[in-house]
């Protein structure tokens, strides 16, 4: 397997930080739960229980002000930096954040897309970026950032849609197919067009998913459901809407299964009123 220079560096830094005990990750196996219209895959990692959760912080203090140099991978644009994520379910996981404080509830800006497409092209087709726009879209930090990680080995429902398969997703979304020459300006224009079509304005919770061949916007209603088991909240960001469900405890898995994974994702999203997707 040929790795890009950036991927090789990310993996080397990831492994070094894990060995030093400065980055929290442990190997985990996917737990497949068959569902309709798509299956879901759970991962449980106890090491992520230490992950900070403060999405409603109103201090406007930069959440990534004191980046450890050992966690830094590179500057991507004059106002974006790519760093290692400290609490991980996957190897590796990265964060692309703005240098100055911008709110995670703000819509993505033109330079966010310039940074995002640069990272996608540098890392290659095996990687994806996600944006959790606000607490009700699954964010845990108030400072604007995107998450970067490897795509799953299995095909997501969106992968199947891009390949031409009809998949009746239970939540509203819009999809744009990228060309190899696609740049940040074009992505920004398409993102704003999809948001306009979906009624998403600044402050509205939504997810964005970006890979080499497609970009998806998903409006959100919530990111947390209590379920039947106390202290085992059903929660999820953009990755969850694809069926990648990352948990901290076995009790959360039982709560998800009891509630119904697809029912939870339906409740997280917005019920479709018209035909989904977009050419």
Q: Which pLDDT tens digit goes with each residue over 8-22?
A: 999 999 999 999 999
Instruction: For residue 137, give the nearest of 251, 221, 203 by alpha carbon.
Output: 221
Q: What is the DSSP letter of 177?
A: E
Instruction: For residue 143, give the nearest of 191, 105, 86, 200 by alpha carbon.
Output: 105
pTM: 0.94
The region that residue 33 occupies, defined by phi over 0 for left and psi between -120 and 50 for alpha, beta otherwise, is beta
CA 118/CA 101 separation, integer angstroms: 21
Query: Residues 120, 129: contact at Cβ < 8 Å?
Result: yes
CA 227/CA 62 separation, integer angstroms: 34
Phi and psi at 8, nearest 5°, equal -60, -40
- CA-only gyration radius of the chain, Å: 18
Mean pLDDT of the chain: 93
Query: Residues 143, 158: contact at Cβ < 8 Å?
Result: no
Q: What is the pLDDT of residues 104-160, one digit of tens each?
A: 999 999 999 999 999 999 999 999 999 999 999 999 999 999 999 999 999 999 999
- Residue tagged 């696609």 (tokens): 182
């Amino acid at each position: 397997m040929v790795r890009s220079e950036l991927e090789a560096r990310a993996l080397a830094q990831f492994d070094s930080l894990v060995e030093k005990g400065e980055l929290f990750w442990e190997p985990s196996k996917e737990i497949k739960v068959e569902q309709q219209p798509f299956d879901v895959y759970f991962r449980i990692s106890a090491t992520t229980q230490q992950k900070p959760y403060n999405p409603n912080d109103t201090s406007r203090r930069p959440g990534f002000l004191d980046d450890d140099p050992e966690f830094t991978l590179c500057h991507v644009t004059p106002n974006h930096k790519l760093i290692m994520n400290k609490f991980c379910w996957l190897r590796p996981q990265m964060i692309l954040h703005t240098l100055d404080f911008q709110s995670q509830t703000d819509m993505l800006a033109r330079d966010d897309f310039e940074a995002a497409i640069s990272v996608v092209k540098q890392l290659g087709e095996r990687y994806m970026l996600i944006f959790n726009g606000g607490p009700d879209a699954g964010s845990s930090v108030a400072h604007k950032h995107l998450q970067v990680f490897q795509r799953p080995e299995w095909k997501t429902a969106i992968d199947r849609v891009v390949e031409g398969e009809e998949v009746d997703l239970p939540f509203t979304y819009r999809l744009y197919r990228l060309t190899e020459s696609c740049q940040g300006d074009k992505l920004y224009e398409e993102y704003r067009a999809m948001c306009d079509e979906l009624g998403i304005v600044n402050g509205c919770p939504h997810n964005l998913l970006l890979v080499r061949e497609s970009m998806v916007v998903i409006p959100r209603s919530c990111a947390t459901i209590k379920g039947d088991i106390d202290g085992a909240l059903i929660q999820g960001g953009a990755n969850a809407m694809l069926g990648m469900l990352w948990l901290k405890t076995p009790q959360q898995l039982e709560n998800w299964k009891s509630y119904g994974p697809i029912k939870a994702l339906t409740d997280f999203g917005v019920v479709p009123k018209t035909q989904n997707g977009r050419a």
